């Protein structure tokens, strides 16, 4: 089986990239090839994980924009674009052009708490459950079909930082599972929903 060729987009720490690299090494993601890491932030800490592994990196700028990324996606046969802590909104034409190929990791149980500061909003809302979602990217922020979620229970003693840690831990499980599903051709976008093993699904698969 040929490997799934991936680009990873990030803006900050890149702990999810680090985790994906570990999962490639451990064999869990043996059919994943990380072709490029792309960032909007030249100072992104996460770039060091790419540099350590000689994974090529690109910085989005006036000289390397989304049209250039699209050309590279075609040139290098990129199969999957993973937004793992990428804090910019992608242009509409880019999302439309690569429909079904872009997935985003979001730190909440979508459709709850789209956008920023999800942990704070979970505490303010008194939610009893929290977690992370992976969804197909569409032109509306955090709105495309969600196909996998990891769920955690919120305790009374939880703070923004404890939730952030627990959600990261669940992200380290669900994002590699999502990517593995792509590498095994188990999942595809189907309009507002998704197919899993060829069957139309309307609700995300949840891990507790
Ligand atoms: C993650 O919580 C992700 O859900 C959110 O940004 C964070 C990125 O973390 N979109 P890291 O950069 O991978 O450590």
Write out pLDDT tens, residues 111-142: 999 999 999 999 999 999 999 999 999 998 88
Sign of CA dihedral 174, 165, 160, 12: negative
- pLDDT value, residue 56: 98
- pLDDT value, residue 2: 87
Q: Which atom, in ligand 1's list, is nearest to the CA of 167? A: 2
Q: Where does 27-135 have alpha helices with state H?
A: 47-52, 66-75, 92-97, 118-125
Q: Identify the residues whose C-beta falls under 6 Å from ligand 1.
A: 10, 12-16, 46, 84-85, 105-107, 132, 167-168, 171
pLDDT class of 208 with cuts at 50, 70, 90: confident
- Nearest-angstrom CA–CA distance, 100 and 198: 15
Record: fold of 4-207:
Rossmann fold (3.40.50)
pLDDT class of 198 with cuts at 50, 70, 90: very high
Distance between Cα 16 and ligand 1 center (Å) = 7
With vertex at residue 46, the alpha carbon angle to CA 22 and CA 109, rounded to the nearest 5 degrees, is 75
- Counting other chains too, the contacts that 179-182 makes at CB distance below 8 Å and 24 or more residues apart are 179/4, 179/6, 179/20, 179/29, 179/32, 179/80, 179/82, 180/28, 180/29, 180/31, 180/32, 181/148, 182/4, 182/79, 182/80, 182/103
- pLDDT value, residue 30: 97
Average pLDDT over residues 3-22: 98
The SS3 assignment for 171 reads: helix
Non-local (6+) Cβ contacts of 151 within 8 A are 109, 129, 130, 131, 170, 206, 207, 208
- pLDDT value, residue 142: 87
In what helix (H) or strand (E) does residue 183 lie, and over which residues does it extend?
helix 160-183
Pick the residue whose CA is nearest to atom 7 on ligand 1: 85
Are the C-beta atoms of 134 and 187 separated by less than 8 Å?
no
Cut 0.85: pTM above it: yes
Pick the residue whose CA is nearest to atom 3 on ligand 1: 85
Pocket test of ligand 1: the residue of 85, 102, 152 to mutate, having most ligand atoms within 8 Å of its CB, is 85
Among the listed residues 35, 106, 119, 130, the single catalytic one is 106
106 is catalytic: yes
Distance between Cα 120 and ligand 1 center (Å) = 15
């Amino acid at each position: 089986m040929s490997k799934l060729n991936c680009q990873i987009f990030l803006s900050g720490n890149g702990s999810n990239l680090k985790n994906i690299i570990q999962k490639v090494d451990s064999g869990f993601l043996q059919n994943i090839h990380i072709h490029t890491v792309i960032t909007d932030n030249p100072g992104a800490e996460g770039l060091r994980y790419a540099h350590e592994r000689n994974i090529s990196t690109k910085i989005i700028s006036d000289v390397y924009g989304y049209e250039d990324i699209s050309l590279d996606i075609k040139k290098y046969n990129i199969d999957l674009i993973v937004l793992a802590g990428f804090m910019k909104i992608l242009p509409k034409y880019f999302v439309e052009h690569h429909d079904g190929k872009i997935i985003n990791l979001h730190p909440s149980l979508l459709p709850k708490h789209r956008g920023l500061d999800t942990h704070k909003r979970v505490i303010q809302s008194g939610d009893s459950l929290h977690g992370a979602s992976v969804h197909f990217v569409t032109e509306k922020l955090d709105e495309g079909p969600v196909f996998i979620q990891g769920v955690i229970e919120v305790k009374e003693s939880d703070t923004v930082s404890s939730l952030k840690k627990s959600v990261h831990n669940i992200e380290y499980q669900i994002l590699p599972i999502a990517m593995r599903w792509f590498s095994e051709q188990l999942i595809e976008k189907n309009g507002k929903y998704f197919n899993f093993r060829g069957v139309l699904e309307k609700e995300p698969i949840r891990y507790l």
